[in-house]
């Protein structure tokens, strides 16, 4: 029987997609574990995390400063076991930790996604962009995970507006409560670091151009209200895809690597139909059937809404075909 060569090539490419991504990422991880310059140069965000091994020193730090750790003491305490390792080992392990969110969000498209400049730069720097993209999706079902953006960059916690607008008080309480518990425990361990961090937030200054810094020159006071309105609109119209966009828009500073958060839009698009994240959104494991229920149209004449099995995740009728709504 004749088999179309193009089809065969596509099948082979699909099968090799994830292994190819692992090979590319594995080379970088190995280079860092082996302390190969420049892949372990002390100029990455991961370097700032590693320096917290001596305790977060906020002082007069500013965004963009090399080695400037600007997150809360709670995050530094959480990664303390990792930063106790030698720098090359920490750098390699931190890079390896970028792979699970990349593969979950991208699936067979993980390698092309990794090669996108903002994503590649985010992985190289050791930024939390891909983790934030996962939070924007998973946080609808497990709201406690919003503690990550709240205790690192703070303003990307704008995703909680989703629960507020929809009057979903239980997940909102879980998100706020989990964050509060972490803060109390962390403050008890090191109250001085918390005072220093709050002082840092109070005197927050936007980065200035120069020194190779590349960022979007739109101040937070302009972008944050826009992010709130975007998430509120998405919450009222059952469009959860707005959350990755809202988290990105609400960043304290939008750096050149920050668009990596928008990889979180992929599972909502037609191109992300086969991703593990899309399967999770359907409330099913990869390869399993999606579980849905369709309530009747509302009295206001809006279209029937398809509710995914994951609590809090809904999309307008037709979203199941892979098209992001709106």
Q: What is the pLDDT along the chain (326 residues), one digit of tens a residue?
A: 455 655 454 554 567 788 999 999 999 999 999 999 999 998 889 999 999 998 777 876 667 666 789 999 999 999 999 999 999 999 999 999 999 999 999 999 999 999 999 999 999 999 999 999 999 999 999 999 999 999 999 999 999 999 999 999 999 999 999 999 999 999 999 999 999 999 888 877 666 665 667 888 899 999 999 999 999 999 999 999 999 999 999 999 999 999 999 999 999 999 999 999 999 998 844 444 333 444 444 333 343 333 444 444 544 334 444 333 33
| d(C-alpha 115, C-alpha 275), whole Å | 17
**Following CA atoms 104, 106, 107, 110 in sequence, which dihedral angle do they give, to the nearest 10 degrees?**
-120
> How would you class 187 by CB atoms within 10 Å of its CB: exposed for 0-12, middle for 13-18, buried for 19 or more?
middle
- Give me the residue spans of the domains in the chain: 10-203+212-293+302-319
Classify residue 48 as exposed, middle or buried by CB count within 10 Å of its CB (0-12, 13-18, 19+).
Answer: buried
Helix (H) or strand (E) holding 13: helix 5-33
Helix, coil or strand: residue 59: coil
């Amino acid at each position: 029987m004749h088999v179309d060569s193009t089809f065969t090539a596509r099948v082979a490419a699909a099968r090799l997609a994830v292994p190819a991504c692992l090979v590319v990422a594995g080379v970088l991880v190995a280079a860092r574990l082996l302390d190969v310059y420049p892949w372990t140069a002390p100029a990455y965000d991961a370097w700032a995390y590693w320096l917290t091994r001596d305790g977060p020193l906020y002082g007069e730090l500013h965004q963009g400063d090399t080695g400037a750790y600007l997150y809360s003491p709670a995050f530094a305490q959480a990664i303390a076991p990792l930063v106790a390792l030698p720098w090359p080992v920490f750098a390699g392990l931190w890079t390896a930790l970028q792979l699970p969110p990349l593969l979950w969000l991208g699936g067979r498209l993980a390698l092309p996604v990794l090669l996108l400049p903002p994503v590649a730069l985010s992985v190289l720097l050791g930024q939390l962009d891909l983790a934030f993209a996962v939070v924007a999706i998973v946080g609808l079902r497990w709201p406690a995970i919003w503690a990550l953006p709240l205790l690192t960059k703070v303003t990307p916690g704008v995703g909680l507006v989703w629960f507020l607008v929809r009057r979903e008080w239980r997940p909102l309480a879980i998100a706020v409560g989990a964050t509060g518990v972490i803060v109390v425990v962390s403050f008890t361990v090191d109250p001085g670091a918390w005072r220093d961090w709050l002082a840092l937030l109070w005197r927050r200054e936007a980065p200035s151009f120069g020194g190779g810094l590349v960022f979007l020159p739109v101040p937070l006071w302009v972008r944050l209200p826009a992010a709130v309105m975007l998430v509120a609109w998405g919450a009222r119209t059952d469009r959860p895809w707005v959350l990755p966009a809202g988290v990105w828009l609400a960043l304290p500073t939008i750096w050149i690597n920050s668009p990596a958060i928008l990889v979180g839009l992929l599972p909502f698009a037609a191109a992300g139909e086969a991703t593990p994240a899309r399967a999770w959104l359907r409330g099913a494991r990869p390869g399993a059937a999606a579980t849905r229920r369709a309530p009747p149209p509302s009295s206001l004449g809006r279209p029937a809404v398809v509710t995914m099995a994951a609590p809090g995740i809904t999309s307008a009728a037709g979203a199941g075909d892979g098209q992001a709504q709106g």
